[in-house]
Chains A and B, each alone.
Chain A
Amino acid sequence: QSALTQPASVSGSPGQSITISCTGTSSDVGSYNLVSWYQQHPGKAPKLMIYEVSKRPSGVSNRFSGSKSGNTASLTISGLQAEDEADYYCCSYAGSSTFVFGTGTKVTVL
């Protein structure tokens, strides 16, 4: 049950695209297409942005997209906006009805 590995920080200018990686193992990310992504603004509860690797909940901007290759999942934010500045966490099913979150990535809009 080790945390998934994310870069501590990622930054980009308004309008640019950024990608956040989430690296796990063959026991979690690599074995299941059950990776979700959450956005968290300071002092707020997390918000679901992507589920099942690449699906977007109703109401989430199509500027957010997800993908996976092997043991690494990725979240891409295109057309970066000031409101996207937040912490982002991935989460993966880890088998036996347990789950593991990533270490978190702080996104800064320059």
Chain B
Amino acid sequence: EVQLVESGGGLVQPGGSLRLSCAASGFTFSSYWMSWVRQAPGKGLEWVANIKQDGSEKYYVDSVKGRFTISRDNAKNSLYLQMNSLRAEDTAVYYCARDQSYGDYDYWGQGTLVTVSS
């Protein structure tokens, strides 16, 4: 059974940092692009970043470029999102998702809540 389990969310002050993790199981993690998608409270979904199977390519939405870094460890079947210089507008539930092919997110985690507030 495919499982994606996010962790690392919490309350952080503006300007602070947080590292999210996503533990994958039940499939060959190294064979898939992986993505982070977020959802602000009461708002819609927003694609945040993705990473190629071997980590050689990474892409970001403009609003997080230079602040967030996506990475993966295929030996540990884990996906990460390092978030720096956090802003109030980064407050959201962050989901990791498996990309079956070109944006077909066929499996999602349960999400982890990040709250940026003083």
Which of A32, A40, A98, A102 counts the most B-chain CB atoms under 10 A from its CB?
Answer: A98
Binds B, one of A9-17, A44-52, A76-84: A44-52
Residues of B within 8 A of A45 (CB): 95, 108-111
Residues of chain B with a CB closer than 8 A to A40's CB? 45
The chain A residue with its CB closest to the CB of B47 is A99
Query: Across the A-B interface, how many residue pairs have beta carbons closer than 8 Å?
Result: 68
A48 touches B104 (CB 8 A): yes
Q: Are A100 and B47 neighbours in the complex by a CB distance under 8 Å?
A: yes
Residue from B37, B59, B105, B111 in contact with A48 in the complex, judged by beta carbons closer than 8 Å:
B105
Which residues of B lie under 8 Å from residue A36 when comparing CB positions?
A: 103-105
Give A contacts to B, CB under 8 Å: 1, 3, 32, 34, 36, 38, 40, 45-48, 51-52, 57, 89, 91-93, 96-104
Binding site for A on B (CB under 8 A): 35, 37, 44-47, 50, 57, 59, 61-62, 95, 100-106, 108-111
* Residue contacts A-B, CB under 8 angstroms, 17 given: A1-B62, A3-B44, A36-B105, A45-B109, A45-B110, A45-B111, A46-B45, A47-B108, A51-B103, A51-B106, A52-B101, A52-B102, A89-B44, A91-B103, A97-B59, A100-B47, A101-B37
